[in-house]
Amino acid sequence: MSLKYLLKSIWQSAIITIVIIGFFSVVEADVRSSTNYKLESDSINFGGGLSTSSNYSLESTAGEIATGVSSSTSYSLKAGYQQMQAVFISITEANPVIMTPDIGGITGGIANGSTSVLVTTDSPSGYQLTIKASDSPAMQKGVDTISDYAPLANPDPDLSFSTGSGDAHFGFSPESDYLIQRWKDDTFACNTGGNNTALACWDGLSTTEKVMVQGPANHPDGASTTIHFRVGVGGSVIMPEGEYIATSTITALPL
């Protein structure tokens, strides 16, 4: 008889345990994540709701006063419901890049430009910075396009941006103190060594995210990343005149 009660009790307790574990998972931070998103916390809320799009996440809640993030150089205060577990991350707006000088449609040439962003986060695990293009190839003018840079050292980036006489291509090179290994160099090749050489390690943009940086928590100072862009047109390529434009997206994600 006693064994029967024990087995019955174990069965019932197993069900209850599963439920309790589910309950604990609610209060544990970082409950779900993938390469594209991270759920900071699940919680019960009343009178609010959640709205999302590709560019923002808005959650309204009720019954809060004096909420939000306050900070100075020596403290970071997160006040209000759901603030305690939320990770703060921000990215400055990247200025539009007008590359200089103009490239001759007949003579060819090289045009350069760059933009910088400052990422600030208090995520204990740091953050990741990615870049992608809206179109493929990225640089377009109606039906006319400039190819994305294809590194000769593929899958690694090219240490130098090289343009043959028949090439017309568009590439980028990130520069940061927290580059991932792929963008570091030993002055001879990329994805080796530990140098962050300026204007080294070139690759083309694509419509899928390319990770440039993985940095640590840096609130309140933030960390700067500069992205250099270059278009090279060889002398035997005839390019139709006009303004070629690439639209790019930089995303900072807490880890």
* Separation CA 252–CA 198 (nearest Å): 22
| Residue of 64, 80, 116, 145 interacting with other proteins (CB under 8 A) | 116
* Separation CA 156–CA 181 (nearest Å): 10
Instruction: Say which residues have a Cβ less than 8 Å from residue 9's Cβ, sequence separation at least 6.
Output: none
In the complex, the smallest distance separating the C-beta of residue 236 from other proteins, rounded to whole angstroms, is: 15
Residues 213-242 that bind other proteins (CB under 8 A): 216-219, 221-224, 226, 229, 231, 233, 239-242
In the complex, the smallest distance separating the C-beta of residue 224 from other proteins, rounded to whole angstroms, is: 6
Q: Which is nearer to other proteins, 77 or 152 (CB)?
A: 77
Angle, alpha carbons 82-68-87 (nearest 5°)? 55
* Separation CA 133–CA 107 (nearest Å): 27
Q: Which is nearer to other proteins, 85 or 147 (CB)?
A: 85
* DSSP category for residue 203: B
In the complex, the smallest distance separating the C-beta of residue 202 from other proteins, rounded to whole angstroms, is: 14
Residues 180-209 that bind other proteins (CB under 8 A): 198
Q: Which is nearer to other proteins, 26 or 152 (CB)?
A: 26
Residue whose tokens read 């560019």:
55
| C-alpha 136: how far from chain center | 19
Residues 61-100 that bind other proteins (CB under 8 A): 61, 74-78, 82, 84-87, 89-91, 93-99
In the complex, the smallest distance separating the C-beta of residue 87 from other proteins, rounded to whole angstroms, is: 5
Residues 144-183 that bind other proteins (CB under 8 A): 146, 170, 175, 177
User: Exposed, middle or buried: residue 214 (CB in 10 Å: 0-12, 13-18, 19+)?
Assistant: middle
Q: Which is nearer to other proteins, 159 or 246 (CB)?
A: 246
* Separation CA 128–CA 36 (nearest Å): 11
Pick from 190, 215, 214, 210: which is nearest to 200 by CA?
190
Q: Which is nearer to other proteins, 40 or 203 (CB)?
A: 40
Neighbours of 201 (CB within 10 A): 29
| Residue of 25, 67, 207, 236 interacting with other proteins (CB under 8 A) | 25
For residue 185, give the amino acid letter.
D
In the complex, the smallest distance separating the C-beta of residue 200 from other proteins, rounded to whole angstroms, is: 13
Q: Which is nearer to other proteins, 107 or 208 (CB)?
A: 107
* Separation CA 184–CA 229 (nearest Å): 17
**Total residues binding other proteins (CB under 8 A):** 113
Query: Considering only 39-47, 62-70, 147-155, 157-165, which stretch makes contact with other proteins by CB under 8 A?
Result: 39-47
In the complex, the smallest distance separating the C-beta of residue 153 from other proteins, rounded to whole angstroms, is: 23
